Structure 1
C-alpha cells in the first residue's frame, strides 16, 4: 500500500518598504532528505553532515534601491562552520571526554568537523558595500525608547540537538521602527555538562544614514564554571550576558555613491 505523501507547504513571504530599503522575509519548511535543494547544500558545503533541521529557504534580505544590501541565510551561515577539525575536543578536552565518553561523535567520527555547528556568520553583504572597522557603537538607549513597530519577524536558520547531548541553533530577528531598523542574529550552542556559547551579531540602521553599524560578540564558558540555574543555562536569551566575552568586532557597512549620504 502506497504511503500518503504530505505535500510541502509553499514558502510564506512578507515584504516591507522602509524608505529606500525593500525588506523581504521568507519562511519555509525544513530541508528535505533529498531533492535539488539538498543536493545544492551537499555540493557547496564540505561538512560530513548538516544540522538536523535546516531551514534552507528561510531568508531575510534587505536591498537598497541602489542595488546593495545584506542578506541572512542558512547556507552562508554553515559555510563558516569548521569542516576539517573538531575544535571542541581541544577547547574542552578532558571534561569533554569524561562527560560524553559514549557519544557517537567521539566513537564514530570518520572525518572530524565541528559537530556543534558553531558559526561566526554575520550576514552576507552584496553590492558595493564597504566594510570598515569603527569605534562607533550602537546606541542601545535609542533602542530602548518606545516606538511603533512597523515590521517584525523572527525565524530559525538551523537547529540541531547534538545527538541528544545539547542544542545548537541560529536565530534571526528584525524589527523596523519609524526611525530605524534593528537586526539580531544569535547563535546558541550548549553541550550538556561541557560548554555553552552565544555568538551575537547586531545590525542597526538609522533613517537617512549612509551606513549600517554591525557589532559581533562571541561569549562562552565551560558549564562547570557557571553557577546559574538550569533554566537560565538553557535559555539562549538569558545566558549570553552571563558568559565571558571571547571576541568582539565592530564594523561600519558604508554605502556606495554620493547619493546615499545623509541629508542635512
Structure 2
C-alpha cells in the first residue's frame, strides 16, 4: 500500500444519479478470518478492502454497486481452478490460521470471480436482459471532458509470491455518459494469466445501461516472444489473451419511470468529499 494513504468518501451528482466512491484501509487480519468463517472459505485475500465500494444509484434508489464481499461470494470455494505445484504450498502456508487449523481444504486459491456487480433497490430494480447491442468503444475513445474519475481497489493477494490476484473498479463520468470498468486480473507465474472484465456504460438520454462481461486467459508457455515486463501490465498483456467468454446484457430501468426521470439533464458538480 502506498505511504500516505488517506481514506476518502466521495459523492458526485450526475443528473438523477449519485456516484459514491469509498476508499478506506485494509481489513484487519482478525476481521478477515471472521469473514472467511462466515463465507466458509479456508482463506481470503491478504489485502481485503471490505469497506471499499463504488456505487451508482438513481434518485429512485435502484442502481448498481461493486464491493469485495459480494465479489468473493462468486469465487468457487469447492475446488482449485489452477492446479500447480505451488498451490498446495500456498495453502499450507496459511494452515495455521485460526479458521483453518483442522484441515487445509481444496478451494480456488486464485480467488477468480465472475462477479458483475450488485443490483440495488427493493421495489425498483434494474432488469437484466440479454442483448446483441455492444458498447461503442470507439465513441469512448473520442476526446471528451472527464468531469469525475475514481479508481477503487477491492482486493489483492500476491499468492505467496507466486503472482498476483487483484480486483479493482474504476469509473469515469463525462457530460453525457458514464463508463465503469471492473477488472479481475490473475497472474500465476510460469503458469497463466487470466482477466475477467465487466464494462458498464450509460448515456444520459437512454433508459438502460449496457453491460459486457468478458473472460480472457492464456498460458505463459505461449508467451515466449513477449517481453516479461508486460506480464504485470493488464492493459498491455490483454491483447495476448484469447477471448473465452463474452456476455452482453442490457440493464433496463424500471418500467414505471416517467420520461422526465430518465432524461433529467446531468449536472457537473464538484465531488463532495468527507
Q: TM-score range by the shorter chain?
A: 0.7 to 0.9
Asked if the contact 2:12/2:19 (under 8 Å) is kept, the reply is yes
Asked if the contact 1:210/1:260 (under 8 Å) is kept, the reply is no
Correspondence 1:147-162 to 2 at 5 A: 147-162=144-159
Give 1:92's aligned residue.
Answer: none
1:246, CA displacement in angstroms?
A: 1.1
Asked if the contact 2:81/2:110 (under 8 Å) is kept, the reply is no
Counterpart among 20, 30, 36 of residue 26 in structure 2: 30
Give 2:272's aligned residue.
Answer: none
Give 2:100's aligned residue.
Answer: none
Counterpart among 184, 188, 204 of residue 187 in structure 1: 184
Give 2:99's aligned residue.
Answer: none
Give the number of equivalent residue pairs: 246
Aligned-residue RMSD, C-alpha = 2.2
Asked if the contact 1:31/1:38 (under 8 Å) is kept, the reply is no
- Partner of 1:163, secondary structure, is helix
Where does the alignment leave 5 or more consecutive residues of structure 1 unmatched? 1-8, 90-95
Where does the alignment leave 5 or more consecutive residues of structure 2 unmatched? 96-102, 264-274
Aligned CA distance change for structure 1 residues 164 and 150 (closer, same or farther; 3 Å): same
Note if 1:77 corresponds to 2:71: yes
1:118, CA displacement in angstroms?
A: 0.5
Give TM-score scaled by structure 1 length. Answer: 0.87
Correspondence 1:99-138 to 2 at 5 A: 100=86, 103-105=89-91, 110-127=104-121, 128-138=125-135
> Stretches of 4+ moved more than 4 A in 1?
106-109, 260-263
Asked if the contact 1:77/1:119 (under 8 Å) is kept, the reply is yes
Give 1:236's aligned residue.
Answer: 234
1:220, CA displacement in angstroms?
A: 0.4
Output the CA distance in 2 between the equivalents of 1:101 and 1:242: 25
1:88, CA displacement in angstroms?
A: 1.3
Note if 1:17 corresponds to 2:13: yes
Asked if the contact 2:218/2:242 (under 8 Å) is kept, the reply is yes
Give TM-score scaled by structure 2 length. Answer: 0.84
Counterpart among 153, 161, 165 of residue 164 in structure 1: 161
Bigger RCO of structures 1 and 2 (CA < 8 A, at least 6 apart)? 2
